[in-house]
Amino acid sequence: MPMRFSYGDLSRATKDFSSKIGQGGFGSVYVGVLADGTHLAVKKLEGIGQGKKEFRAEVSIIGSIHHVHLVKLKGFCAEGAHRLLVYEFMGKGSLDKWISKKCEASKILDWNTRFNIALGTAKGLAYLHEECAVKIVHCDIKPENVLLDDNFVAKVSDFGLAKLMSREESLVYTTLRGTRGYLAPEWITNNPISEKSDVYSYGMVLLEIIGGRKNYDPAESSEKAHFPSYAFKMLEEERPEEILDSRLEFDENDERIADAIKVALWCIQDEMHLRPPMTKVVQMLEGLCSIPHPPIPSQFGSQTSLSFYKWSSEGGTSTGPINWSSDAFQSEFQSGVQLSGPR
């Protein structure tokens, strides 16, 4: 069980919550320092209607989950109406500060660092979805919830918080916080939310890591304003370098660039069953398996997309999950849809 703090303890540690370092869909985050000098990140939860017993039960589950790419929950407070969570402090802050266009030239992350952040984030999500005792769907994956330690190791934060709220509350908070650009279509169509919803959000984050920009930027030209559409177009035209952040130096022979782009575009497929599980995302990023050419979602339309849907319908999997590890899946793609080239 994580350590239990009193509200007074955390009020003193944060100097009456005077230093706000973040705002998320579930509350505000403040920096705190314990008497022994240990730095903490204290999140004041908003809109949590659970009683102390239920809250502590959920916290015990979240606190029992440990992984190198998940932010560690160190403690909690459940006192009166107050509900707070205490996390390890992450020295470099959130990912969004390091990949935006406003980022200072001296702070622009190189490709190796970005790739490792993308891979680490994928590993953290894969653990939540498939490896820990209780499957956890994050529901709010975005750059602000990917935190970086002093060595730029990525750790997913705020996992498990969706369990503390109803789906309606989660949707309202997520929407109000301006993160609609990361929400999978099923949030809007009222289809069931699952780990595949996290996969979609991860794909949108991965695109931003690659491109160094928001996925929607009205300041860009009409062609580039919606980055996912532009990315699909550039991949179709075999110009993946146009998707990469223009501020980056890169090796033209580095296969990880094209691989990361294809992985991102697989993850943001409208159809849930087309999105790979996060364990497969990790394998593809690590170069352990080939990556089929991603189909363009139906709203963009292309021969590649038509070929894919024709193949999946004939195979009887148009409404079911794709077996990403099957030889048949790989061979059908290699024969029916053009791949960008062998690994």
| Among 195, 213, 261, 209, CA closest to 234 | 261
Identified catalytic residue from 9, 16, 140, 217: 140
Strand, helix or coil at 143? helix
Q: Is 101 annotated as a binding residue?
A: no
Element at 169 (helix H, strand E) = helix 167-176
d(CA 106, CA 49): 44
Question: CA 84 to CA 78: how far, in whole Å?
Answer: 7
| Residue in 322, 300, 325, 299 with CA at minimum distance from that of residue 311 | 322
Residue 329 token pair: 């899946």
Q: Is 100 exposed, middle or buried (0-12, 13-18, 19+ CB in 10 A)?
A: middle
Rg (CA), the chain: 21
Q: Is 140 a catalytic residue?
A: yes
| CB half-sphere exposure, 32, CA atoms < 13 A | 29
Sequence ranges of the binding site: 44
Residues noted as catalytic: 140
Sequence ranges of the binding site for ATP: 44
